[in-house]
């Protein structure tokens, strides 16, 4: 059964996801945990309190739980998927599943040592046509989300973002002094690379990344390189050239 939407912007629609999650058991964006677990192990400790943003029906939380990370709180705005995942992972007793919009996190400051998202922010940017010039609405939305992410992180906490988006596009979103973090970048994948960003709270932006702030609203370059895009099919490893990022 195909779960491809009629149009790309459906990926930002709750109605689309509720319908899809009603029948789809599991799906992975940006490869499964096995493809980047060495990067996770380098950045995350088994005792860390982890918040999974927009968990969907990915097996990531379950895989990490089996790998020794037991303090995981999962949030998604789809009541359908939260209920399904709660039932599916009932044996993982210390793992929590909450219905919550990532645009309105209901946690106290410093509640988590790690906040992790995998292609969740990508899905919120599907309506953008020019990756160099995001719309004002998208820029405001991303800023609101990232301010909340920074707020719920503990001192020296890490925000991990796993994405299709290349650094020359995505780092401009993350390089803001008011988030209070620096930016590290890793890649993974064979053939086509995915990107693993680590923002550490309490660390200063590099001089180069700090300069990205001034390019955010007045970038004059045209898109000259291949834009990372989402695609899904029956092979979990094939996600290219379908959704503009």
Is residue 172 within 8 A of residue 216, CB to CB? The reply is yes
CA distance to 16, 25, 29, 41, per residue, from 12 (Å): 8, 19, 15, 30
- Rounded Cα distance between 176 and 60, Å, is 28
pLDDT at 234: 41
Going by C-alpha positions, the residue among 97, 59, 60 that lies closest to residue 78 is 97
Domain 28-215: CATH superfamily, name plus number: Vaccinia Virus protein VP39 (3.40.50.150)
pLDDT at 16: 65
pLDDT at 20: 64
Is residue 52 within 8 A of residue 61, CB to CB? The reply is yes
245 residues of the chain, pLDDT tens digit each: 445 555 555 555 666 655 666 565 556 667 889 999 999 999 999 999 999 999 888 899 999 999 999 999 999 988 998 998 999 988 999 999 999 999 999 999 999 999 999 989 988 888 788 888 889 999 999 999 999 999 999 999 999 999 989 999 999 999 999 999 999 999 998 878 899 999 999 999 999 999 998 766 554 333 333 344 454 544 443 433 343 34
pLDDT at 237: 39
pLDDT at 223: 38
- DSSP per residue over 62-111, as a string? HHHHHTT---EEEEES-HHHHHHHHHHTTT-TT-EEEE--TTS----TT-
SS3 185: strand
193: left (phi over 0), alpha (psi -120 to 50) or beta: beta
CA dihedral of 14, 80, 161, 144, whole degrees rounded to 10: 50
């Amino acid at each position: 059964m195909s779960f491809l939407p009629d149009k790309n912007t459906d990926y930002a629609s709750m109605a689309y996801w509720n319908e899809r999650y009603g029948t789809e058991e599991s799906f992975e964006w940006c490869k499964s945990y096995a493809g980047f677990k060495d990067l996770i192990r380098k950045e995350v400790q088994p005792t860390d309190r982890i918040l999974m943003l927009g968990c969907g029906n990915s097996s990531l939380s379950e895989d990490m739980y089996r790998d020794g990370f037991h303090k995981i709180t999962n949030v998604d705005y789809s009541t359908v998927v939260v209920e399904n995942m709660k039932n599916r992972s009932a044996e993982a007793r210390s793992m929590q599943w909450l219905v919550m919009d990532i645009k309105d996190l209901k946690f106290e400051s410093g509640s988590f040592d790690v906040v992790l998202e995998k292609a969740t922010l990508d899905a919120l940017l599907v309506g953008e046509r020019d990756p160099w010039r995001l719309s004002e609405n998208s820029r405001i939305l991303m800023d609101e989300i990232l301010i909340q992410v920074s707020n719920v992180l503990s001192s020296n906490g890490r925000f991990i973002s796993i994405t299709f988006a290349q650094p020359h596009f995505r780092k401009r979103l993350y390089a803001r002094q008011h988030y209070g973090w620096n930016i590290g970048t890793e890649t993974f994948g064979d053939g086509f690379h995915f990107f693993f960003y680590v923002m550490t709270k309490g660390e200063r932006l590099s001089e180069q990344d700090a300069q990205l702030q001034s390019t955010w609203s007045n970038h004059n370059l045209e898109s000259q390189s291949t834009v990372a895009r989402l695609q899904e099919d029956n092979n979990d490893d094939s996600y290219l050239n379908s959704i503009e990022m």
